[in-house]
Each structure stands twice: as structure tokens, then as C-alpha cells.
Structure 1
Amino acid sequence: MKPNKLGRDGKFLFIESALTSFILFMPVTYLLYSSLGLDQFAIGLTQFIFAFTMIILEVPTGYFADRFSRKVSNATGDIFLAIAMLVMCFATGFWHIILSEVLFGVGLSLTNGADSALLKAHAQKDGVPYDKLAARLQSVGFVTAGLGAIVGGILGASNLRWPFALQGFVFLVAAGMAFTIRNAGEHRKTNVHPVRDAIDIVRYCMRGHSQLAWRTLLTASLMASTLLMAWLMTPSFLAAGVDIKFHGILFALISVIAISGSEFVAFNKKMKMTTPFLISAAAYFVLGWQLSLATILLFLLTSFSRGINAARQRPFVQKVVPEDIQATAISVQSMVYKVIGSSLMLLVNLIANFRLQYGLLSAGIICVMLWAIFRLNETKYV
């Protein structure tokens, strides 16, 4: 018997999701911000404001997707992402960057949860196992992110703004595809006022379902700890003497290595939920002790941990949460991640502003502390 295949809408959504993972600007963002006069702490502050935007909007936009239209939410988010890239193309200072980060936060909050909930609905309709599909999409996303990093690095070597211009075009193409996809899945139906209903869903996720609440805290903390590397990589590459034109290749390598983490999950390999904390901590400690051309490859370990966590994150939520509130539940998880991640990012960047290696060592200490907290409470989320 042949396995079922995704229909037209599912395939389009898969392609659209992969396309929005084609991120060109990561290798050059730090360089552009630095060229506009931002130091390490100011860069961390821009990310805090970006995260704060998402914290405010995550649950309302997720609820909108569940209640009204996941398709419209996803497609509109892509448009906001494109506008954010356009602003960045012409940015001349701190406030232009802030405007771009806010627009980017609005866009991500609209797409986050809506795309995966829609993909799950189409997968179920077509009889395709969603867990493996999600892991495969995660792997494809890391591949396209790697390719985007290479292209972005090459473009950025000529002009730091070109990757943002092309990125805006990519997001517009993704938005066009997203608008052609039909809605699917169960939508939230209730007579309760939308604000009260959204609050009740948040309360359910964080208090009404103990295992879900602890798993939300765990995955949010794991994501935050592994993505501390995002704003430490470029200054680490520069400190290690890596030529700018090779930054895109290194970003691509680090992104592609995350595939092994996703595949680790896809093939049902076993690893304790908290082990990625220790893997990342080991990388941060060695990098903080000795930053060189040899040790910068240890960022690969944090990327592997990121891949494991990313592949585990949403399938669990979609397994235990009713279908009509899944986009909202994923938004709650993302909101918690932003609260934890933005706080840690600001702290680590403040420390790194004094000396980069102090920032790397502090990231390692944070990972060990988080590992201890969740290891001692393992029975609450397993």
C-alpha cells in the first residue's frame, strides 16, 4: 500500500514555510547594526524590543488565527515581514532599526502557530503523519536557511543592504503563495468574549495542564539558551579573524548542522529532554575560554541542540492541545520563549559589551543553571 501524499494546499504550505526559512540577512545583520553605530548592548536592546513586540501580540494573533482565519494570519504576517525588510534597506540609525524590528515582530507573531496549525490540518485531511512531516519540514527549513546564509554572505560582502532587499522579495513571494492556500482544520467557536476566551486559553496552557506548562517552560528555555549564540556568532567570527566573506558559509554550516538534531528526533532517537542544555553549555565554556579559528566550530553543538528542541516543540503541543486552540497554544509557548530569551539576551549582551568572552562564559553558566532546574523537576514534564 502506497503512503498517502500531501495535496496541493499542503504542498504549497510546505513550500511557503520552507521559503520563509530562506533567511539571507543573518550573516550581515550584526555588521549593519555596527556600521550604524550600535554597540553590543544596543544590539541586545533592539532584540529586547523585538521580543517585547511579540510578547504583546503572540496570544492575540494566535487567537485570531484559531478564531477567524489561519490563512489570512499567515499571509498577512509574510507581508509585514517584507515591509520590515524594506525599512531595514533604508535604515540610517537606531530608530529605523527599532521600527524594522517592531514590524518584524508583528509579522512573526502573525505567522507563528498559524502556519503549523494549518499544515497539520491539511496533513490530517490528506492522511499524512504530521510528526514526521513536521520534522522533515524542520530539516528542509535548516537547509534553506543554510543556503540563504551563503547567498546573504556573498551579497553582503558587496553591500550590507542587498540581503535585506532580496529578503523582502522572498517574503512577498511567500505571501502570494500563502493567500492561495485554502483554510483547513477546526476553528474556535465560542460565545465567550474573545479577550476572556484568550485569557482562559493562556490560563489552560500555563496552569490548567501541568505537563504542558512545564514542557512550555522547558522548550522555551532550551530555545532561548541555544539562540543566545545568534548575536554572539558574528563578533566571535570577527574576534577569531574570520574574513567577512566567509561568514555566510559558517552561518550556513551551523544552520545545516541543526538538521542532524531534527533527524535525531525524526528517527526516534532517545535523549533526555535536558541534555541539550549541557551540550550548549560545553560549547559556550570552551569558546569563552579560548576563542580561535578552531573553537568557533563549537557553535555547531548549540545548533545541534537547537535542532533537537525545534523538532520536539510543536508536535507535543499539537498532540495534547485541542485542535481549535492550537495556534493560540503555540503562541503562548512562543511568548514564554520571548520573555525568557529577551531577558537572557539583554543580560548576556550587557556582559559581552565589557568583553565578548565574558558573555560566552555567562551563556554557559545560564545553560548549566537551567539544566539543573529542569533536571530536578523532570517528573513534571515527561
Structure 2
Amino acid sequence: MNMLIIGPILVPFMLFKGLSYSQIMLLQSIAAISVFVFEVPTGAIADKFSRKFSLFLSGIFMATGILLYILFRNFYVFALAEILFGLGLTLSSGADSALLFESLKKIGKNEEYQRREGNAASYIFIGQAAGSVLSGFLYKYNHFLPFWISFGNLLVASLVALTFIEVEREKSEHRYVTHILKSFNVILKSPRILWAVCFAALMGFIVRVGYWMYQPYFAQVDLDIAWYGVIFFFFNMVAAFSSHFLVRRYSDERPRRVLLGLSTLMALSFILPIIFVAKWAIALLALQQIVRGLYRPTMNFYINHQIQDKYRATVISTVSLVANLSFAILSPVVGIMLDKKGTIPSYLFVGIVAASGTLALYLLRKKQKSRKASA
């Protein structure tokens, strides 16, 4: 589902469709709210019924969303497309990682989860890197070609998902609503998972908003659009290196320590480029790609070891839900700032949020550890 090649040209395409930065970020907020609404219900569906069918539907809904962007030029139709994207993302967010973890657990190799997911992510990033270079040239030739290719990729991925084999696993015996409430209870009673939820709220905003702020910075330093694909190739290769090699390098470190290091890198990635405003400073944005490669494998490894099979996809989906809620609330603020104040103040705002959030999470971690020691 991740093999889309529209990343480098998505913001220019939306501007081409007549949208402002405020409208673009409002659409992303709508997508995030959709994820907030659908996340836990779709995670529960994956837990109680079928992981692979959930992945199949994910691709179908996302492909339909892309088709709407290709065929129409209307904000409200784009809003519908973002709702479909949100639904598609939620159908895969808990199901894919749960399916992998349970398959490894079945054969007694669940300790390999972090490495395996890191390897899979690195292959995706390499594919996206190659597609990024291609998309820049395709976009100059025809603005719609990268979208048609991504549409086809999603349909193929949906069919492949139906060939997956699901292992026998413990399923929740509770009714749907009871299942969700019990999953929330698991989160509230586990300090480690509660910390992960708070961390996801921070990262859900700063990681996702970072992508939408690349193009404004490229414009700030007068980078020709022909180079966008090349820059994204570099970004994706950094992410591939991070997910393939750094995941292994830091697999023995305490996950919360690694996660705090990642949020620190995110803060630096917003602050340093506005200190050195220049084309070469685009390389500093690659700090976000290190985070992109490490974050998901580390976070999911951390969470998966804290929960039972029958609540796994729902709890993972809840973490994603909180991440999307924070993005939905704060992303329109960034869009308005980009239109009214410009790129530099917007980067400073996100950098301050990242730095202060990291400090708060570090203090929360210390408080939880001291409580455990005194218990």
C-alpha cells in the first residue's frame, strides 16, 4: 500500500488544482479526523474478523481517493477523497503489523519483528526513492501520470493482500463495543502504553506536518521543481538506510530512549534549516528521514511486547488514532501560518512544539520510572 510515487509532486499538484496552503492543510486535517473516527473500529474489525480482507479494502478505498483527485477540481470532492484515504489507512494501520507479529510469533521468531519490519520498510523506501526521481520527470511531462501509476499500484497491492495466510490466533470473545472499551482499559492501566500514546500525539503532528512543509522550504530557497524528485530520492535513501541498518544498530537499546532521540532529531530538523536558509540546508531536512525509517519499527516493537493478541490491532490503532487527532488539531494552524506569516515562522513554531514535547515526555518517563522504583 506504500508504493506510491506521488510524494515529491503532491503539494505542487494540489497547488496546480487551485488550492492554497490553508486548504491543503485543512484537507489533511479532514483526513486525520477520518482516521480518528475510523481507526479503532477498523482495528477491531481486523482483530475480530480478517486481517488480510482489511488490507484488501484498504487498497480499494485509497485507490478510489486517488481517482477522485485525478478526475475532479473541487475542494469538497477532494475532502471526500481524503476521507477515503483516511478509511484506507485505518484499515491497514493495525492489521499489517499485527499480521506480521503474529506470524513470527507462531514460528517462535517474534523477537525478529523489529528487524523484519525495518527490512520491509527499507525496501519500500528504496522503491519510493526510484519512483521519486521518475515522478518528477513524469510530472513535467504530464501532471496526472504519477497519479495513474500510483492508482494501479494500489489495485495490485489489494489483490496481493488476498493471498496472505492468516495464522490461528486468539480472538476476542467480547462484543464489538465491549472489545473496544477493554482495549482502552489496557492502555489506561499500562504506564508504558500510556506513555507511547502521549509520544504518538507528539510525533503524529511533527512527522506528518514535516512532509507538507518541504515544498514551502524548497520555494523559500528557490529550488526548481525538476529537482524535487531528486531530493525525495535522497530522502528515501536516507530513510531506507535508517530502517535497514539503524534499526539493527539500536535494537538492543531501550525503546523509549531511542524514541526520545528521534523526537529530538525532529526538533533539530525544523530549527536548523531556518538558521541556515540555503539550498544546502535542505540536507538538514534529511534528519526527518532518519526518524521516518526508525520510528515505526521501534514504536510497534515497543507496543507489541506490552499487549495480548486479542487486543493487539485495536491498541495499535488507538495509538495511531491519537497521532491523527493531534495532527488534525494543529495542522490547520500551520497552513494558516504558511499563508499569512510565511515559511520561517512556521518552521519555528513546529520546532518549538517538537522541543517542548520531547522535554515533557522525558520528564514523564522519569516520573513513571521513579514511581515504579518506589512501588
**One fold, TM greater than 0.5?**
yes
| Contact persistence 2:47–2:172 (CA under 8 A) | no
Match of 1:50? 31
- Report % sequence identity: 24
CA RMSD of aligned residues (A): 1.8
Deviations 1:179-202 (A, max 9, x none): 111222414231x33112212212
Q: Which amino acid aligns with 1:135?
A: G
- Offset at 1:223? 4.1
Counterpart residue identity of residue 186, structure 1: R
Decide which of 296, 300, 311 is 1:314's aligned counterpart.
300
The CA distance in 1 between the partners of 2:295 and 2:263, in whole Å, is: 10
In structure 2, which of residues 347, 366, 371 is the aligned counterpart of residue 379 of structure 1? 366
Paired residue type of 1:195: V
**Partner Cα distance (2:135, 2:266) in 1:** 26
Contact 2:196/2:319 (<8 A) preserved: no
Give, in whole Å, the separation in 2 of the partners of 1:377 and 1:125: 35
Shift of 1:22: 1.6
Cα distance in structure 2, aligned partners of 1:34 and 1:291? 23
- Tell me which residue corresponds to 1:344: 330
**Which residue of 167, 186, 192 maps to 2:169?**
186
Secondary structure of the residue aligned to 1:273 is helix
Q: Deviations over 1:214-234 (max 9, x none)?
A: 122214422432232111101
8 A Cα contact 1:117 1:326, kept in partner: yes
Counterpart position of 2:211: 230
TM-score, scaled to structure 2:
0.91
Write out aligned runs for 1:278-293 (5 A): 278-293=264-279
Q: Provide the aligned length of Structure 1 versus Structure 2.
A: 361
- Give me the whole-angstrom Cα distance separating, in 1, the residues matched to 2:91 and 2:219: 35
For normalisation by structure 1, the TM-score amounts to 0.89
Matches within 5 A, 1:365-376: 365-376=352-363
The aligned residue for residue 203 of structure 1 is 185
Q: Quick check: 1:222–1:276 contact (8 Å CA) kept in 2?
A: no
Secondary structure of the corresponding residue to residue 181 of structure 1: coil
Does the residue aligned with 1:182 lie in a helix, a strand or coil?
Answer: coil
* Match status 1:212 vs 2:199: no
Decide which of 297, 301, 304 is 2:283's aligned counterpart: 297
Q: What amino acid is the match of 1:76?
A: L
Whether 2:339 is the aligned partner of 1:356: answer no
Deviates more, 1:288-297 or 1:271-280: 271-280
Identify the residue that residue 5 of structure 1 maps to in structure 2: none
Superposition deviation, residue 254 in structure 1: 1.2
Q: Which moved more, 1:290-299 or 1:216-225?
A: 216-225
SS of structure 2 residue aligned to 1:310: helix
What's 1:14 paired with? none
Q: Spell out structure 1 runs of 4+ moving beyond 4 A.
A: 269-272
Q: Residue 85 of structure 1 aligns to which amino acid in structure 2?
A: I
Give distance in 2, aligned partners of 1:238 and 1:127: 51
Alpha carbons of structure 1 residues 167 and 323: separation in structure 2 relative to 1, 3 Å: same
C-alpha separation between the residues in 2 aligned to 1:22 and 1:380?
Answer: 41
> Which residue does 1:93 correspond to in 2?
74
1:325 partner letter: Y
Paired residue type of 1:157 = K
**Residue of structure 1 equivalent to 2:247:** 265
1:331 aligns with 2:317: yes
- Matched residue type, 1:210: P
Could you say if the C-alpha distance between residues 185 and 117 of structure 1 is closer, same or farther in structure 2, counting changes exceeding 3 Å? farther
Specify the alignment match of 1:13 in structure 2.
none
Counterpart of 2:373?
none
- Tell me the CA shift for residue 330 of structure 1: 0.9
Unpaired runs of 5+ residues, structure 1, are 1-19
CA contact (8 A) 2:62 2:88 kept: yes
Partners of 2:16 and 2:93 in 1: how far apart?
31
Which residue of 144, 165, 190 maps to 2:127?
A: 144
Unaligned 5+ runs, structure 2: 370-375
Answer yes or no: is the 8 Å Cα contact 2:193–2:303 preserved in 1.
Answer: yes
Cα distance between partner residues in 1 of 2:284 and 2:151: 31
Amino acid at match of 2:325: V
- Determine the structure 1 residue equivalent to 2:64: 83
Deviation at 1:381, TM superposition (A): 6.4
Q: Quick check: 1:162 aligned with 2:145?
A: yes
Q: 1:62–1:113: 8 Å Cα contact kept in structure 2?
A: yes
